[in-house]
Structure 1
Amino acid sequence: MVMLRRIRADFDARSLVVYQAYALAIAEPALREGRFVAPFSFGRMTWIKPSFRWLMHRSDWGRKAGQERVLAVRMTRAGFEEALARAVSTEGSVAGADVHVQWDPERSVRGAALNHYSIQVGIGRGLIRTFNEEWVVGITDLTPLVRRLAGLVKDGRVAQAQRLLPPEKPYPLPTAVARRVGADG
């Protein structure tokens, strides 16, 4: 079976949403300021994920320590594509790379691996301030939605939970960028 690598995201003509999960100490100031501020670390890589379900899998629906607040970070498409154009796969040599990408199996609402991959993008120290100051256009707290969805899934109401998921559709990458990150289609 061929596992497709295709970015799926919630996007419009100018921006897209990526997801991150943080501790309250980082999330609250970011939500208040509309961008990341201390104690957010500008000295280490930050990983952004266009797949809501993958982040739910990774953060255990916002229940992992230090990942209790789930944020929807709206960023410019131009910034996202610039980051990908500078990316290096974590499967190869990443020393000195501004951006790392890796593909992991996409997840169902229940956490099962699906037959296609989802991208994770690591923004390195050299681009974090650009990400924060130029590419981020808004931050929204999705924690209440995440709690509701987790409850629905726990109660076996998966179809109802799926209807409430953020909308994600295939993201049209420029050909050269798709080639660089190993995306299909």
Structure 2
Amino acid sequence: MCTNIIGYQTEEEIVVYQAYKPEIAKFAVENQKLGGASFGFQRMSWIKPNFLWMMYRCGWAEKENQEHVLAIWIKKQDFELILEQAVLSSFQKEIYHTEEDWKLQLSQSEVRLQWDPDHDPKGNKLERKAIQIGMKGEMLHLFANKYIQHIEDITTFVRKQKLYVDRRELEKLLIPKESIFTSLSAQRKTHTLATPSETPDPGSA
């Protein structure tokens, strides 16, 4: 079972995706940060570095309240800081001493990490897993206001690619060139990061 973190990367940055309703996306693009009257800082917000997993989750920008897909650039060092604080969203006996220890860590962390089945363009499950990371509290504020380097609304691109999927013209389909994310800190936490979770998607994009 393959469980590497993959995403579109430059030398210093990695792209993560979120899908929102129009007013949240409009604020994000205009202000180059997350916020506004419709954004809920009291909720956990989930980011996904894998493009096709985001497409499956938002239905290629057709699901309610997920009509706009944002590509968000953040520095790799900040992405690592988020990962360093992550606790798996479900108990794994190979990682945590006891279920009580896991629950304690989960209650004290502002970052949750979850592995789910990745999907191909048609929505079929793949053997490999895709990661998503949830943030709340101060970490969410840091992400929304400090860590973000650039936000782009890629909804037009997404909808064009969906047409190729619907027409079964996959040879015309364009998706970001993704590669495995590696770092010293990720290597130190390889076992934690590479343990899949079958927990259902929490719902918030």
The answer as to whether partners of 2:115 and 2:195 remain within 8 angstroms in 1 is no
- Range that drifts further, 119-128 or 80-89: 119-128
The answer as to whether partners of 1:76 and 1:137 remain within 8 angstroms in 2 is yes
* Aligned partner of 1:108 among 103, 113, 120: 120
- 1:145: how far off? 0.7
Give deviations 1:51-97, integer Å, cap 9, x for gaps: 01001001111111000000001011111111111100011232232
TM-score, structure 2 length as denominator?
0.84
- 1:133: how far off? 2.0
The answer as to whether partners of 2:17 and 2:69 remain within 8 angstroms in 1 is yes
Does 2:46 match 1:36?
Answer: no
- 1:132: how far off? 1.6
Secondary structure of 1:110's match?
A: coil
How many residues are aligned here?
180
Unaligned runs of 5+ in 2: 92-102, 197-205
The answer as to whether partners of 1:19 and 1:72 remain within 8 angstroms in 2 is yes
TM-score, structure 1 length as denominator?
0.93
Partner of 1:159: 171
Amino acid at match of 1:166: P
Amino acid at match of 1:41: G
| Alpha-carbon distance in structure 1 between the residues aligned to 2:131 and 2:60 | 18
**What is the aligned-residue identity percentage?**
31
Partner of 1:136: 148
Amino acid at match of 2:46: W
Secondary structure of 1:5's match?
A: coil
Amino acid at match of 1:63: E
- Range that drifts further, 69-78 or 123-132: 123-132
- 1:37: how far off? 2.0
The answer as to whether partners of 2:17 and 2:54 remain within 8 angstroms in 1 is yes
- Structure with greater Cα Rg: 2
Partner of 1:168: 178
Amino acid at match of 1:106: D
Q: After TM superposition, where is structure 1 displaced by more than 4 Å over at least 4 residues in a row? A: none
Q: Give the root-mean-square deviation of aligned CA atoms.
A: 1.4
Unaligned runs of 5+ in 1: none
| Alpha-carbon distance in structure 1 between the residues aligned to 2:81 and 2:190 | 12
